[in-house]
Chain A
Amino acid sequence: QVHLVQSGAEVKKPGASVKVSCRVSGYSFSDYYIHWVRQAPGQGLEWMGWMNPKTGGRSDSGDFQGRVTMTRDTSISVVHLEMSSLTSDDTAVYYCARGGGACTNGVCYDYWGQGTLVIVSS
């Protein structure tokens, strides 16, 4: 069974950084891209970026002014999302999601992590 399990909730002060982890299991880590999506309280879904676990290649939406870094640890099948210079606008649930194989370009998310709540507050 495919599982994406994320790290626990975080509370951070403005200006700090946060690192969210996504551990995958039940399939070959290198075979599917991981995308990150966030959702502010009561709001819609915002696509953040993707990572290719096989090569380490990545791209973000460009809306984060270079504050987002995506990395991976292939030895333990984990992808990380790190965001710096946090503001209250970054308060959201952060999801990792697997780019599914069924859709033509792999950009449809067939499995999701449970979400990680990040609260930014002074």
Chain B
Amino acid sequence: DIQMTQSPSSLSASVGDRVTITCRASQSIRNYLNWYRQEPGKAPDLLIYGASSLQTGVPSKFSGSGFGTDFTLTISGLQPGDFATYFCQQSYSAPYTFGQGTKLEIK
């Protein structure tokens, strides 16, 4: 199975800040990488697919990059609704494993 490792596990930031979350795969997954945001008690929402493609309806403050084993999610202009947990997922080969999550908290 492909292991996905996110860093950091938690992150404190202020409204208006720009943050970056990293996801590393245990082997190359080309650009088969998705990012989701999950608010407490809710299902995840798809933000980015194919490492850098913005899901329809997702604001351009979210951006993704990377190829192979190293990927990043950048969120600019943090708003209160952005303080949630973020997960990466590899869609290269089954089982389609997720990272352990990064909890973004208000400083």
Contacts and interface: CB of A to CB of B under 8 A. Distances in A.
Interface of A: 35, 37, 44-47, 50, 59, 61-63, 95, 97, 100, 102-105, 107-110, 112-115
A105 B92 CA distance: 9
Interface of B: 32, 34, 36, 43-46, 49-50, 53, 55-56, 87, 89, 91, 94-101
Contacts of A100: 46, 49, 55
Interface of A, secondary structure class, is: loop
Nearest to A109: B46
In the A-B complex, list the 9 residue pairs whose CB atoms are closest, starting with the nearest: A107-B91, A112-B43, A61-B95, A108-B49, A103-B49, A45-B98, A47-B96, A108-B34, A44-B100
Kindly name the residue among A46, A59, A104, A113 whose own CB sees the greatest number of chain B CB atoms within 10 A: A104
A44 B99 contact: yes
19 contacts: A44-B87, A44-B98, A44-B101, A45-B44, A45-B87, A45-B89, A45-B98, A47-B89, A47-B95, A97-B43, A100-B46, A102-B55, A103-B49, A103-B53, A104-B32, A104-B50, A107-B91, A110-B46, A115-B43
